[in-house]
Structure 1
Amino acid sequence: MTRALELALNGPVTGVNPQVGAVILNAEGELIGEGYHKGSGTDHAEVVAMKAALNGASKLPQGSTAIVTLEPCNHTGKTGPCAKALIEAGVSKVVFASLDPGDESSGGAETLRSAGIEVVAGFHAGKADRQARVWLTAAKHKRPFVTLKWASSIDGRAAAQDGSSKWISGE
């Protein structure tokens, strides 16, 4: 998961799509593919990692595990559903950190389980949720993530009593 979280940081920071990273491991736990989501309309992290792991083959090696920072999506938008792509590629196990809060996109874990794939949800969720907090806030609460900085003097003012401006913040 650490590598997937690192990869996710390579993706663009947008309000529409989350930064997601994914790795594919073979049955021996060796890394055979990795990827991240490069932006709206491009392959999602799971698909990028699977394409690297498949290397032209139609199925992943038996016993392969996908590790993803966000629950694989379960809907068709600009790209197809990642849950379906993982099933079709023959993945045996999917481990993900954060649940997808989207109304349309969530449910990938259930789709994978229904197909007989072992699913581990919430692995390193705290770290992944912190890393994706801007997108998760927007997706869960239907509002932007806001950071506010307030600088005031010790008496709670933003300027001196006579109205003259003073430098009260180091940034």
Structure 2
Amino acid sequence: MAFRCVFGAWIGAWVTAVFLPSLLIAYLGMSPGAAAIGTGFDRLPATAWKVADDVGPAAKLMVGGLLLFGLLLLDRVSGLTRTRRYLIGGAIGVGAVAATIAFLPESLSRGFAIGLTGHRFDVAATSIYLFGGAVAGPVFETVVARCRKRLAAGRSLASPRS
């Protein structure tokens, strides 16, 4: 049962690490693909999806894999306060994104970091990506805690208010 909590939380963290930066990049008009659709608040869902879709699979998989590895390690550590778990989770998210930016070859970085801006550590884009990673860790911790609380209370994971 705990696997269901961790897996769902990891998916939430991964989606956050990919789509939150995509949303900000789309809103700021930093992506050529988003600019082709048009910027503006009314087109934000479509442009954010386009930016996330333009990110190459290698970048998404590397971020996801590093997040999974780090967050599984964090999940195995006991005795940490909730605040420390959130902070460490955020640091793991930042580390996963930073490692992906630093080590993913340019040829595999389509739509991500150097593949988007032409510079591996462009200040604006890197800040946005790291912010997404920083939020991904606490998302993981929040989802895991809620899921485990629901399981401990004997409630179903399928129905939120049962």
Q: Same fold (TM over 0.5)?
A: no
Name the structure with the higher strand share.
1
Name the structure with the higher helix share.
2
Question: When the two structures are superposed, what TM-score results if normalisation uses the length of structure 1?
Answer: 0.27
RCO comparison, higher one (Cα < 8 Å, 6+):
2
Question: When the two structures are superposed, what TM-score results if normalisation uses the length of structure 2?
Answer: 0.28
Max Rg structure: 1
